[in-house]
């Protein structure tokens, strides 16, 4: 089967948008497939093809989303509603956003798209050996995850979704989230026009996380490239990403992979799956576990090693989401859920950064030669 990127090239050469696939598997995508599957899905496909452990999944492509919006003439209606919108009037923007999202979510997919998505979901369940496999349904816009503009979090992600009807419903919600008030205002302020923006929707097997969190291959507080920083909590990563808890905090030397800083916090809540409703929900962490380290040292070391490989592959500091799956044995249960370029320090002067592709040792040696103190 041709890769997603190959399909883009063929369609562009032939001028035939209809040849673009409506759905594709993540492993068919590489980083140059952003126009077809958005930043998030393209990054996941690139990780899979570079040998990183990533939960399997598929994407409804930007072509599939375009067809969905075009079939009911929703794209024209949205354009008319957005014309003349005052992005500085947040109250009016919220009302406008609600109207646009309601229009999009009320429209069913065509029979063709429903069948294609249903077949992919069935095959994903077979791969996972789990009927009605629980999945994360994730927005993947073409303008997100870019260096210099942090679009991360502008669109929606829905966790622990089961059954094809729910998958289709949450796909429409992801498409409509392109028009949240926050996303509309952010794009306008960054100078990104809606006419050049497209969205894809990724569907990925849920990692049944015992522990999850985020990892930076640069110190997010001071830009130190010689370390890897990991924040973690029990359960799903929502509590860490949202800032609802103070997570455990680990700083790892990027060269030796030694843990050089360790802060174990009191973690009062975590997110886990409700067995009855099969949805993600916040629960109180038992008191006796609240001050227990949420990652063992071997897991911290393995995560840091994975982060180091991802940074080397991309040639720049990365912001990574990860999970430890409690349903799988040790040694094969740490998964990367997302990796995107770090944007805060990447926007700093090039003089303060390691040249693209440089290693941590390059950074340390250059700092020593310049008389600069490094961690």
Residue 267 banded pLDDT, cuts 50, 70, 90: very high
Work out whether strand 135-141 and strand 259-263 pair parallel, antiparallel, or are unpaired.
unpaired
Rounded to two decimals, the pTM is 0.80
pLDDT at 180 over 80: yes
Condensed to tens digits (0 to 9), the pLDDT of residues 6-28 reads: 555 554 444 444 579 999 999 99
CA distances (Å), 32 to each of 28, 152, 218, in order?
A: 11, 19, 24
Q: How far apart are CA 284 and CA 230, in angstroms?
A: 22
Q: Are 342 and 318 in contact (CB under 8 A)?
A: yes
pLDDT value of residue 15: 47
pLDDT at 242 over 70: yes
Residue 364 banded pLDDT, cuts 50, 70, 90: low
Q: Are 244 and 218 in contact (CB under 8 A)?
A: no
Residues 276-285, buried b or exposed e (16+ Cβ, 10 A)? eeeebeeeeb
Q: Span 162-184, mean pLDDT?
A: 93
Fold of domain 4-205? Dna Ligase; domain 1 (3.30.1490)
pLDDT value of residue 10: 56
Condensed to tens digits (0 to 9), the pLDDT of residues 103-160 reads: 999 999 999 999 999 999 999 999 998 999 999 999 998 865 444 444 545 568 888 8
Q: How far apart are CA 117 and CA 309, in angstroms?
A: 33
Q: How far apart are CA 313 and CA 165, in angstroms?
A: 37
Query: Which residues make Cβ contacts (< 8 Å) with residue 139, sequence separation at least 6?
Result: 38, 40, 155, 156, 157, 174, 175, 177, 178, 199, 200, 201, 202
SS3 371: coil
Query: What number of residues does the chain have?
Result: 375
Where are the chain's structural domains?
Answer: 4-205, 209-369
Fold of domain 209-369? D-amino Acid Aminotransferase; Chain A, domain 1 (3.30.470)
């Amino acid at each position: 089967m041709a890769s997603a990127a190959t399909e883009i090239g063929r369609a562009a050469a032939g001028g035939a948008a209809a040849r673009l696939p409506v759905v594709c598997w993540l492993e068919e995508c590489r980083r140059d497939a952003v126009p077809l599957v958005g930043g998030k899905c393209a990054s996941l496909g690139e990780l899979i093809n570079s040998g990183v452990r990533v939960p399997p999944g598929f994407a409804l492509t930007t072509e599939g989303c375009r067809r969905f919006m075009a079939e009911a003439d929703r794209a024209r209606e949205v354009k008319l509603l957005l014309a003349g919108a005052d992005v500085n009037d947040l109250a009016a923007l919220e009302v406008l956003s609600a109207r646009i999202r309601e229009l999009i979510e009320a429209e069913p997919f065509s029979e063709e798209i429903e069948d294609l998505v249903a077949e992919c979901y069935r095959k994903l369940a077979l791969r996972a050996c789990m009927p009605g496999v629980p999945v994360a349904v994730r927005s993947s816009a073409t303008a997100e995850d870019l260096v210099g503009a942090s679009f991360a979090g502008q669109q929606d992600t829905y966790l622990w979704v089961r059954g094809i009807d729910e998958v289709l419903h949450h796909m429409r919600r992801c498409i409509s989230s392109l028009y949240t008030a926050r996303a509309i205002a952010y794009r306008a302020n960054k100078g990104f026009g809606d006419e050049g923006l497209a969205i894809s929707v990724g569907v990925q097997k849920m990692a049944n996380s015992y522990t999850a969190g985020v990892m930076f291959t640069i110190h997010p507080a001071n830009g130190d490239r010689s370390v890897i920083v990991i924040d973690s909590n029990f359960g799903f990563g929502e509590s860490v990403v949202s800032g609802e808890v103070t997570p455990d905090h680990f700083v790892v030397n990027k060269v030796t992979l030694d843990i050089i800083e360790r802060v174990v916090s009191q973690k009062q809540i975590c997110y886990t799956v409700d067995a009855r409703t099969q949805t993600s929900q916040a629960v109180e962490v038992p008191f006796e576990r609240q001050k227990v380290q949420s990652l063992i040292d071997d897991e911290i070391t393995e995560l840091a090693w994975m982060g180091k490989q991802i940074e080397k592959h991309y040639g720049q500091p990365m912001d990574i989401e990860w999970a430890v799956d409690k349903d799988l044995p040790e040694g094969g249960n740490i998964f990367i859920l997302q990796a995107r370029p770090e944007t805060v320090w990447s926007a700093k002067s090039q003089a303060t950064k390691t040249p693209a592709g440089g290693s941590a040792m390059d950074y340390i040696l250059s700092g020593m030669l310049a008389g600069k103190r490094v961690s």
